[in-house]
């Protein structure tokens, strides 16, 4: 590839990055988002329906009712606050749906557009509505922050980077030994994967942070998030830090929840809290 073509490609990449900047609600972080979130929400609808139809639903309907009740309370408080602050653009294409899945694993997940799954295994860890709000608030944080769209955008940028690396390497191929291009691309890809895991951990931390704020807006004491991760940590004691982990350790999440409590309480919309629920 000629040198001029490489320069044009890099300029296009820089332009995409500059024009794709958006601000995450509540945290104020600037993220690169090259994917239309509304279009993404619509595109995953078919996949969501297929997954929903394939998952077992619990026979105990009271569990689904509880999750929907807590989720709706969080959603109403969140939407009211964002509209009041003139940030309703964060809600574009979002239609909150809260579902329970019959599964013994301790898990919950969120689809773009506000579709949130919680397993019966997770519900057993959350005997109180406040603990359940910690889980749902976290998943809602992923949706509001557009983490799926951001991850897709990062993948697009990485692909442009790989093409640029390959182009530069081809331009210098006369000075390289056979196999150098493959090794160079493998090294670049490996570094990008490690960066992706680190980025995922940061997204998890941001969803925790937003989740605590949403709890406060809905008058669920946000100090419960630390208790949630303590509970999960006792059930999953072998989870320790590794560069290839996509989630922070439970101990780190407990510490961060305690550190973030003063920030979350600035959004508190309920009656006065007890001393145990304050920092």
pLDDT (0 to 100) of residue 22: 86
Provide the angle, in degrees to the nearest 10, between the axes of the packed helices 129-144 and 61-84: 50
Beta bridge pairs of residue 110: 116
pLDDT in tens, 196-236: 556 688 999 999 999 999 999 999 999 999 999 999 999 98
pLDDT (0 to 100) of residue 184: 43
pLDDT in tens, 98-132: 999 999 999 999 999 999 999 999 999 999 999 99
CB 178 within 8 A of CB 120: no
Instruction: Please determine, for residue 4, whether its predicted confidence score (pLDDT) is greater than 60.
Output: no
> Band of the pLDDT at 85, cuts 50, 70, 90?
very high
Backbone phi, then psi, for 75, in 5-degree steps? Answer: -65, -45
> Smallest Cα–Cα separation from 256: which of 277, 233, 225?
225
For the chain, the DSSP string reads --HHHHHHHHHHHHHHHHHTEEE-TTT--EEE--S-HHHHHHHTHHHHHHHHHHSPPPS-HHHHHHHHHHHHHHHHHHHHHHHHTT-GGGGTT---EEEEE--SS--EEEETTTEEEEEHHHHHH--SHHHHHHHHHHHHHHHHTTHHHHHHHHHHHHHHHHHHHHHHHHHTGGGS-TTHHHHHHHHHHHHHHHHHHHHHHHHHHHHHHHHHHHHHHTT--TTHHHHHHHHHHHH-TT----TT-SS--HHHHHHHHHHHHHHHHTT--SSPPPGGG--
Give mean pLDDT, residues 163-185.
Answer: 51
pLDDT (0 to 100) of residue 159: 59
> What distance in Å separates the CA atoms of residue 212 and residue 144, rounded to the nearest whole number?
13
| Range from 13-27, 51-65, 73-87, 211-225 carrying the lowest mean pLDDT | 13-27
Instruction: Please determine, for residue 7, whether its predicted confidence score (pLDDT) is greater than 90.
Output: no
pLDDT (0 to 100) of residue 195: 41
pLDDT (0 to 100) of residue 239: 66
pLDDT (0 to 100) of residue 43: 77
> What distance in Å separates the CA atoms of residue 98 and residue 42, rounded to the nearest whole number?
18
Instruction: Please determine, for residue 188, whether its predicted confidence score (pLDDT) is greater than 50.
Output: no
If you average pLDDT over every residue of the chain, what do you get?
81
The CA R_g of the chain, rounded to the nearest whole Å, is: 21
pLDDT (0 to 100) of residue 223: 97
Question: Is residue 233 packed enough to be buried (19+ CB in 10 Å), middle (13-18) or exposed (0-12)?
Answer: middle
Could you tell me the pTM of the whole model? 0.81
Instruction: Please determine, for residue 267, whether its predicted confidence score (pLDDT) is greater than 50.
Output: yes
pLDDT (0 to 100) of residue 19: 52
> Band of the pLDDT at 44, cuts 50, 70, 90?
confident
Between 185 and 96, name the one with better pLDDT.
96
Provide the greatest CA pair distance for the chain.
73
> Band of the pLDDT at 163, cuts 50, 70, 90?
low
Beta bridge pairs of residue 115: 97, 111
> Smallest Cα–Cα separation from 66: which of 106, 137, 121, 123?
123
Instruction: Please determine, for residue 176, whether its predicted confidence score (pLDDT) is greater than 90.
Output: no
């Amino acid at each position: 590839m000629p040198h001029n073509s490489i320069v044009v490609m890099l300029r296009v990449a820089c332009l995409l990055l500059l024009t794709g900047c958006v601000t995450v609600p509540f945290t104020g972080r600037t993220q690169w988002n090259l994917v239309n979130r509304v279009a993404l929400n619509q595109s995953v609808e078919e996949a969501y329906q297929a997954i929903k139809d394939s998952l077992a639903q619990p026979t105990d309907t009271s569990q689904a009712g509880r999750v929907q009740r807590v989720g709706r309370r969080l959603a109403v408080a969140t939407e009211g606050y964002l509209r009041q602050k003139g940030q309703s653009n964060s809600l574009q294409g979002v239609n909150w749906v809260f579902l329970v899945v019959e599964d013994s694993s301790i898990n919950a997940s969120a689809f773009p557009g506000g579709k949130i799954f919680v397993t019966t295994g997770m519900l057993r860890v959350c005997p109180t509505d406040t603990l359940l709000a910690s889980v749902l608030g976290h998943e809602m944080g992923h949706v509001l922050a557009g983490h799926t769209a951001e991850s897709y955008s990062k993948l697009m940028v990485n692909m442009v980077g790989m093409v640029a690396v390959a182009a530069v390497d081809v331009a210098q191929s006369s000075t390289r030994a056979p196999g150098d291009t493959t090794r160079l691309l493998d090294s670049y890809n490996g570094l990008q994967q490690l960066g992706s895991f680190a980025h995922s951990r940061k997204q998890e931390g941001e969803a925790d942070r937003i989740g605590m704020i949403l709890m406060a807006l809905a008058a669920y004491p946000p100090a419960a998030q630390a208790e949630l991760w303590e509970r999960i940590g006792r059930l999953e004691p072998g989870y320790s830090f590794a560069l290839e982990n996509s989630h922070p350790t439970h101990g780190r999440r407990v510490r961060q929840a305690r550190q973030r409590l003063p920030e979350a309480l600035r959004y508190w919309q309920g009656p006065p809290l007890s001393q145990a629920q304050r920092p």
